[in-house]
Structure 1
């Protein structure tokens, strides 16, 4: 584990995977995610080993070994964290974001100098009322639960009211090994909402708001993911000035890294492997 202290005094913990000379990519996890999440580790290893990338897999503030500012939930804080990481790795890096981390990657790309490329895996933009739309006052209740230290209720509330999961799913999760990790990261969901809340209102995205995201961007969605995620991915790709949307067969929001890593790795490095998990779908 390595750490840096940001200008704001936040200590960010990260693991660095040195793969070669193909550049650096910073991995940005989503809600309840942390750098030790097995699929983030597997993705980091594959991007380093196969695509010669140096991968920085970090804990967003309030997760894992990174510190936080309880009660201060502003997306600009997390953008500043990413800027500090980019500077720490030499002033130039690409970004890979998953779910709300993908939304954060796109927002950071508009403001942080030195962002070369962006891969956004299923950012949860809610752009119509065809599926689930979170309540307008969700933030108030979320902050109340976090301030009261009611972590189990925070997990259930965020999963059902912000992410649209059925209640029976959260009931089952209480009896799984992952429950303790969900409880540990529950307070950080306020940061996820600060990132995505303004873009989950069921309204169309405004291309003018995203016009400064000029870095080449690949938006990925999975064929097996919910329609809401596929619709949101297509919408943000259309709103960005320099983006492509790719639907990967057999992929879901809980991804098979063997399917996700080649798509991301090829885009980040501008290469093409002879063996590709969805090459047939490209023809």
Structure 2
């Protein structure tokens, strides 16, 4: 059943929950909505009340421009308030950055796990110019090109044939939010001064089959927070398999 909360600026944040126990909020990355973690939820719901939500501008959530990272943090604060107590956060990719930003902003969080937050990716293109390029493409009706540019920017291979896949229109519908994820990543450096204020234990994960930046990012995040550690999930890349990450999350959050 879809439920909703109101964020501080009046934005409606839609979410679903499953299971029982402590609240674990799943924070998706770029081109994700609340359904993206559908295969992970059943692996966690016996131990946690798992909350999957649509970040602002996605799915059934509304949007209130202009975008600001603080507004997305307030969305998580509203979800945590609904849970009436400290929550656990698991963020994938740029969702991991958002989870860390929430922790540094004082959202009541018990523990934070992140998988490959896209820091230290070594992108050669000027960051702000690329954000503006993707935003302009999406806002001018060229969402398909915005998604293509973003995928190429991540270093992944872009197969033109994917534009014929049945799920492609759903990706294109999320194109206007790509600038949000790029804004979260900023220039790719870990904001160590800000993350030094995170009091919750942090687990920074990366895949053994991922590019080198992923391990470097996990190391930098774990070093920046007072109570941080990193761990590798063998054989995984950025699209970590639910059955590979779930046992790690269960062990950490328990």
Tell me the TM-score normalized by structure 2: 0.93
Query: Retained in 1: the 8 A contact 2:120–2:217?
Result: yes
The reply on whether 1:95 has 2:89 as its aligned counterpart is: yes
Alpha-carbon distance in 2 for matches of 1:147, 1:175: 22
Task: Identify which of 69, 76, 79 aligns with 1:75.
Answer: 69
Sort the Cα spacing of 1:248 and 1:265 in 2 relative to 1 into closer, same or farther, 3 A: same
The reply on whether 1:47 has 2:44 as its aligned counterpart is: yes
Sort the Cα spacing of 1:5 and 1:170 in 2 relative to 1 into closer, same or farther, 3 A: farther
Task: Identify which of 126, 130, 145 aligns with 1:138.
Answer: 130
Question: Residue in 2 aligned with 1:281?
Answer: none
Question: Residue in 1 aligned with 2:236?
Answer: 251
Query: Retained in 1: the 8 A contact 2:104–2:194?
Result: no
Question: Residue in 1 aligned with 2:216?
Answer: 231
* Unpaired stretches in structure 1, ≥5 consecutive residues: 270-283
How far does the alpha carbon of each residue in 1:228-281 deviate from its partner, in whole angstroms, 9 at most, with x for none?
A: 222212222122221110001122211211110010111011xxxxxxxxxxxx
CA deviation after TM superposition for structure 1 residue 185, in Å: 0.9
Moved over 2 A (4+): 132-136, 175-178, 205-209
CA deviation after TM superposition for structure 1 residue 29, in Å: 0.1
Alpha-carbon distance in 1 for matches of 2:49, 2:106: 19
Bigger mean CA deviation after superposition, 101-110 or 134-143: 134-143
Query: Retained in 2: the 8 A contact 1:251–1:260?
Result: no
Bigger mean CA deviation after superposition, 92-101 or 3-12: 3-12
Question: Residue in 1 aligned with 2:144?
Answer: 152
Query: Retained in 1: the 8 A contact 2:116–2:217?
Result: yes
Alpha-carbon distance in 2 for matches of 1:172, 1:159: 14
Alpha-carbon distance in 2 for matches of 1:121, 1:144: 29
Name the Cα RMSD after superposition: 1.6
Question: Residue in 1 aligned with 2:34?
Answer: 35
Question: Residue in 1 aligned with 2:164?
Answer: 175
How far does the alpha carbon of each residue in 1:68-124 deviate from its partner, in whole angstroms, 9 at most, with x for none?
A: 124x12111100111111001113201110000001100110113311100001101
Question: Residue in 1 aligned with 2:59?
Answer: 64
Q: What is the aligned residue count?
A: 252
Alpha-carbon distance in 1 for matches of 2:141, 2:4: 27
Query: Retained in 2: the 8 A contact 1:18–1:54?
Result: yes
